[in-house]
Amino acid sequence: MSHQVHNLELFRGLIKFKNITQKIWGVLILLSIVTLVEVALGIFKPEILLLYFLNMKILNWIFISLTIVKAYYITWDFMHMRDETKTLRRVVVWTFVFLVLYLVFILVQEAGYIFDQGNIDYIKKDF
Amino acid sequence: MSSAVSVSSKETTWGGGNKPLRTSYGKAMMWFFLLSDGLSFSGFLAAYGFARFRFLDSWPKADEVFTHVPFLHGQELPMIYVAFMTFVLIMSSVTMVLAVDAGHQMKQSKVAFYMLLTIFGGLIFVGSQAWEWSTFINGDYGAVKTKGGNILQFIDSHSHHRVALDDFAHKHHSDRIQHEETNGLWFYDEGTLPTYSIEEVIEGMEASPNILIRTQILDETGEKTILSREESLNTLRANGKSIVTGANLIENEYGMPLFADFFFFITGFHGFHVFSGVIINIIIFFNVILGTYEKRGHYEMVEKVGLYWHFVDLVWVFVFTFFYLV
């Protein structure tokens, strides 16, 4: 317990840290940069990113991807998932990913359907 | 009888003291809990996504709702304060990892110090969230609700900025007295009377020619529809029913009441997690001070609580994206 082995690499070995403390600060800087990019995009909303891709603005796809990037580093480095066995990682992450993908697919799909139904002419909403 | 073989396998595999997946029992159970808790939050956020796609053409815009920063009254600064809250939570996650690491090195005072910083971070976050809630509940401009439950907001015809009801509604001294339960036949009262009646708002609007109405329906470019002066007056006269200031579970001056419901429910559930996390951190902090883990010989408890704390941070990252950014 007392001397756990830590993987001190980020980006598949592109950045190597000397000790765990240094790596944590590295991850903090990374997460802060990602958050700053998100906030900047959210405030300025570049025109080109407001185009639609797969029924959603490109900007929103970027936000969701960046969030998953942040979630990855929080889980892998703050929660030390990187240092756990491969099986534990898979048991936790895959279970979650499969269930959530299914849930999101089914709800968003249904919402689209109900949205279409709600816009039938004879249903009056504007009063 | 091959007893020798079975005995030895009993000792290695079933003899106790094993850690499946090289994880202690407590840590495995913490992951188990976090996985199920994560699925709860996913359910809530997916339900939010459902509501949003279902009302895709009239959903409120978060950067018009959350524009406030403490001590900077009257300035519209969307996202700045939430970004600060996100940073506070990530920072407190960092101090938590540092506490866990100090625990691995068996440095008692260092663990206590970092735990304390984590607790402060958590308190700042919960406080910020309370402030955010109170500004949202109090609202800023006020709006009119129509008979159909739609929200009509008032904007200036030149700047297209929202105009507060206070700025144009004509206040009369009306005889309308709040009904209290002591006065009536039966023991019920009515809610607080709104500051203005709908007639006073209509009158004020007629008197100020530079005010237009904005509905919640989004046009092709994703902007809210602005009615012409004539349409504005007609809509207000024909459909206006009551005054809405701020947001609660029934009404929301920024648009869909469902937006407020999800906001209160999801950020409330998350805030409750942060709050309980702070309480657990405080308990562990005192255990560290008292030397409980020093006696136990390891600081695994700090690690387990740390997992919970990081999870709270993890959930916030998603809440941040889906409520404020997307």
Q: Which domains does chain B have, with CATH numbers?
A: 25-139+259-325 (1.20.120.80), 143-171+189-245 (no CATH)
Instruction: Tell me the H-state helices in chain B.
Output: 3-13, 25-54, 62-65, 80-104, 108-138, 165-168, 198-207, 229-239, 257-290, 292-296, 300-320
Q: Which residues of chain B are under the pLDDT cut of 50?
A: 1-7
Q: How far apart are CA B22 and CA B118, in angstroms?
A: 28
Q: Which of B31, B91, B317 sits opposite A71 (nearest CB)?
A: B317
pLDDT at B173: 67
CA A77/CA A31 separation, integer angstroms: 11
Can you give the pTM of this predicted structure?
A: 0.89
Under a CB-based contact definition with an 8 Å cutoff, are residues B25 and A86 in contact?
no
B contacts of A66 (beta carbons < 8 Å): 321
More confident residue, A103 or A116: A103
Pair of tokens at residue B274: 């942060």
**Residue-level pLDDT at B119:** 97
Provide the pLDDT for residue A1.
Answer: 40
Q: Which residue has the tokens 């387990």?
A: B304
Mean per-residue pLDDT over chain A, rounded: 88
What's residue B15's pLDDT?
74
Q: Which of A20, A74, A79 sits opposite B317 (nearest CB)?
A: A74
Other Cβ atoms within 10 Å of B4 Cβ, number: 8
| B313 in Cβ contact with A78 (< 8 Å) | yes
pLDDT at residue B4, as a whole number: 47
Q: Which residue of A has its CA nearest to B92?
A: A28
Q: Dihedral of CA B283/B284/B285/B291: which sign? A: positive
The better pLDDT of the pair A78, B220 is held by A78
Q: Are B111 and B299 in contact (CB under 8 A)?
A: yes
Q: How many residues does chain B have?
A: 326
How far apart CA B144 and CA B166 sit, in angstroms, is 13
Q: Which of A48-52, A105-109, B99-103, B119-123 has the lowest mean pLDDT?
A: A48-52
| Sequence-ordered strand ranges (E) for B89-248 | 143-146, 151-156, 211-218, 224-226, 240-244
Give me the pLDDT at residue A15, please.
79
Average pLDDT over residues A3-25: 78
List the single residue in B101, B106, B313 with the smallest CB-CB distance to A20: B101
B131/chain A closest Cα distance in angstroms: 20
- Residue in chain A closest to B297 (alpha carbons) equals A2
